[in-house]
Structure 1
Amino acid sequence: MPKGSKSASAPLLTPRPGATSASPPPSGPSGPWPALGEPLAESDANTIKTDILSALREEIKTMFKSELHAALGENLTSIKSELLHFKAEISSNITTMKQEFAGLRGTIVDMEQSLSACTDDITILRSQVENMAKEIVKLENKCEDLESRSRRNNIRIIGVSE
């Protein structure tokens, strides 16, 4: 295909809406734009370039803002939903832990009572063991005394036949 000919599939260039709406229409010889067919002065060309550049900057800025808002909005929404999920999970875990701690507190109170009763029983048993040990020593001494007294009355004669 020759370079100069346009095909049916070639895209047509259309002016952007932001560019046409951002720059004011020509207003005749008294306005900033010269009428059609008049030669442009260098200052008018610079003014037109500046107007077009500022319009493009504004359009690009609004496009970036809208795209950033859309992207950030999606990300923030997903982050919020994840945070809400984690918050619900943490609160359920905290509730579970509180219930378990309440059960453990009850168990600890029961164990303290049992240990207190066991300690009291041990002190009583110690005193009874000490009393019994004293009684045993006394009875052993008494038994030894009785055995030695019963032997005193026995006389042994060696060498005499019965």
Structure 2
Amino acid sequence: MAANLRKYKFEASSSPKPSAASVKSLSDPAPSAHAPASQATKAPKASSSIMDPETIKADILASLRQDFSAIIKGEMREALRDNFESLKTQIEDVKTEIKNKTAALRAEVDQVKANVRSVEDHMSTMSDEMIQAQGQVSDLQAEVKRLKEKCEDMEGRMRRGNISVGGE
């Protein structure tokens, strides 16, 4: 930015002093056809070497705007790059944490599945044993009923033998 400002020379006098080259160009308004092109382009015109303050201000403001724009863009890019790298690192950390926790959860789920299978197998065995026990209980109930009936029949037969018919 400072280099851009150096191209403007401040002259303290109110009327600028034309240089020798500008005086030559004023006296010779058009470069001759025999003059080299570089000499014709190097000789500044008097009107172009004298700039009014508004033009200088406009040029300085434009230069400052460009410089500020470049600085801000650079800083924004750097900040975004830093933020992007930070976000990228955080995302990777979160992904790693999720993978670790997912693996732990899978292990726990597998353990729970194994426990459920074990309980299912045990329940199936217990169910089979219970059905068998219910069959035995019904058989025993039927046998108890039969034995009660047999016992009553035997008691009734014993009592008949104790009856005496008296008439004497």
TM over 0.5: yes
What residue in structure 2 maps to residue 126 of structure 1?
134
* Structure with larger RCO (C-alpha < 8 A, sep 6+): 2
Which of the numbers 44, 49, 69 marks the counterpart of 1:34? Answer: 49
What residue in structure 2 maps to residue 141 of structure 1?
149
What residue in structure 2 maps to residue 16 of structure 1?
2
**How many residue pairs align between the two structures?**
134
Residue 62 of structure 1: how far off its partner (Å): 0.6
CA distance in structure 1 between the aligned counterparts of 2:77 and 2:153, rounded to whole angstroms: 109
Q: Secondary structure at the match of 1:73?
A: helix
Note the 1:25-104 alignment, pairs <5 A.
29-30=44-45, 33-35=48-50, 40=51, 44-104=52-112
RMSD: 2.8
| Stretches of structure 1 lacking an aligned partner (at least 5 in a row) | 1-14
CA distance in structure 1 between the aligned counterparts of 2:114 and 2:134, rounded to whole angstroms: 30
CA distance in structure 2 between the aligned counterparts of 1:57 and 1:124, rounded to whole angstroms: 96
Note closer, same or farther for the CA distance 1:52–1:143 as it changes in structure 2 (3 Å cut): same
Q: Secondary structure at the match of 1:29?
A: coil
Structure 1 stretch 77-86 or stretch 129-138: which is displaced more?
A: 77-86
Note closer, same or farther for the CA distance 1:144–1:99 as it changes in structure 2 (3 Å cut): same
Residue identity over aligned pairs, in percent, reads 28
| Stretches of structure 2 lacking an aligned partner (at least 5 in a row) | 10-41
What residue in structure 2 maps to residue 107 of structure 1?
115
Q: Deviations over 1:5-48 (max 9, x none)?
A: xxxxxxxxxx724x348x799x653387425xxxx4xxx54433
Query: TM-score, normalised to structure 2's length?
Result: 0.67
Note closer, same or farther for the CA distance 1:148–1:16 as it changes in structure 2 (3 Å cut): same
Note closer, same or farther for the CA distance 1:96–1:157 as it changes in structure 2 (3 Å cut): same
Note closer, same or farther for the CA distance 1:31–1:75 as it changes in structure 2 (3 Å cut): farther
